[in-house]
Amino acid sequence: MNRMSQQSCNGFTLIELVVIIMIISVLAVFVTANWPGLTLNLGAQTEQLAVDLRYTQSLSMTQHLFRHWLSDTHWLNQ
């Protein structure tokens, strides 16, 4: 009986390990969410994407590349 009590006292139980992993995960989420320089400014990124799309559209219109793209529809019929 003494041997059984010694074996049960060695190490951690599964529940204790799960609780520790959960605590570490929550702390990691808070640290990465508040890390300086990692904030996402979705409004600015959306505006930059719109500006880039308008720029590439104007380039294709001024260089008449839109005709090549529209006339190259043979891949649609496959």
Give how many domains the chain has, as a whole number.
Answer: 1
Give pTM, 2 decimals. Answer: 0.39
Instruction: For residue 17, tell me if it sits in a domain.
Output: yes
Instruction: For residue 69, tell me if it sits in a domain.
Output: yes
Instruction: For residue 39, tell me if it sits in a domain.
Output: yes
Which amino acid appears at position 25 of this protein?
S
Q: Encode pLDDT of 13-45 as tens digits.
A: 999 999 999 999 999 988 877 776 666 677 888
Instruction: For residue 78, tell me if it sits in a domain.
Output: no
* Alpha helices by DSSP H, the chain: 2-8, 14-33, 42-62, 65-71
Q: CB of 32 within 8 A of CB of 38?
A: yes
For residue 15, give both structure tokens: 């529940």
Instruction: For residue 14, tell me if it sits in a domain.
Output: yes
Instruction: For residue 18, tell me if it sits in a domain.
Output: yes
The range of the structural domain enclosing residue 35 comes to 2-73
Q: Encode pLDDT of 53-66 as tens digits.
A: 999 888 888 876 65
Instruction: For residue 59, tell me if it sits in a domain.
Output: yes
